[in-house]
Amino acid sequence: MEREFLQIIRENQGIIYKVCNIYCDTEEDRNDLFQEIVAQLWKSFPSFRNESKITTWMYRVGLNTAITSFKRNKRRPDQNRLSYENFQMADENYEAETEENIKLLHSAVAQLTGVEKSIILLYLENKKYEEIAEITGITQNYVRVKMNRIKKKLKKLMDKEE
C-alpha cells in the first residue's frame, strides 16, 4: 500500500505544488503545506474507494487542507497574499501589456477567499464544471454561479488596480 501511495504522489505531485503555490507566499510555507497535504492524503488513502479519479481525490484533499490552513493563517499579516513570483512563467518574451495584465490577475487572485481560489485554480486548469463540483463538493449549478461571481470580482479588482 505504501509503495502504491508513493507512486501516486510521484506521478501527481504537480497537483500538490499548484495548490501550495496558490495558497502560500513563501517557500517555507509552501513546503509546510506540501507536507501537510501529503500527510492528509496518506491518512485518507485507505478509505479511497476509486469512485472518482485519483486526481479528483487529490485535488479535493489538497484544496480542503489548503483552505483549512488558509483560514488558520489568515490572521497573520502578509501571510495570505500571493506575489507574482510564486507563479512559474515560461521563459517566453511577453509584451509589456500582457505582462502587466498577468501581474494584475495574480494580484487580484491573491485577494480572493480560500474557496474562490480553489475554484479559479481548477478553472484555470481547464477542469469542467462537473469535475470542479466533484472536487469542491458543491453542486455544478453553484459552481457556475460562483464562477460568474469570481469573474466579476476579478474584473472589479483588476480595474481598481489599474
- The pLDDT profile of the chain, 162 residues, written as one tens digit per residue, is 899 999 999 999 999 999 998 888 889 999 999 999 999 999 999 988 888 899 999 999 999 999 888 777 665 555 444 454 444 545 445 466 777 777 888 888 888 988 899 999 899 888 999 999 998 889 999 999 999 999 999 989 888 876
- Report the sign of the C-alpha dihedral through residues 80, 74, 140, 49, in that order: positive
pLDDT of residue 95: 65
Distance CA 102, CA 53 (A): 31
Q: Read off the pTM.
A: 0.65
Give SS3 for 134: helix
pLDDT of residue 79: 45
Under a CB-based contact definition with an 8 Å cutoff, are residues 154 and 121 in contact? Answer: no
pLDDT of residue 22: 87
Distance CA 160, CA 108 (A): 10
Closest of 65, 30, 52 to residue 135, by C-alpha: 52
Distance CA 145, CA 93 (A): 35
Length of the chain, please?
A: 162
DSSP 140: H
pLDDT of residue 74: 63
Q: In this structure, what are the phi and psi dihedrals at residue 128, rounded to the nearest 5 degrees? A: -75, 155
Cell of 127: 477542469
- Alpha-helical runs (H) found in the chain: 2-23, 27-44, 54-73, 96-110, 114-124, 129-136, 140-161
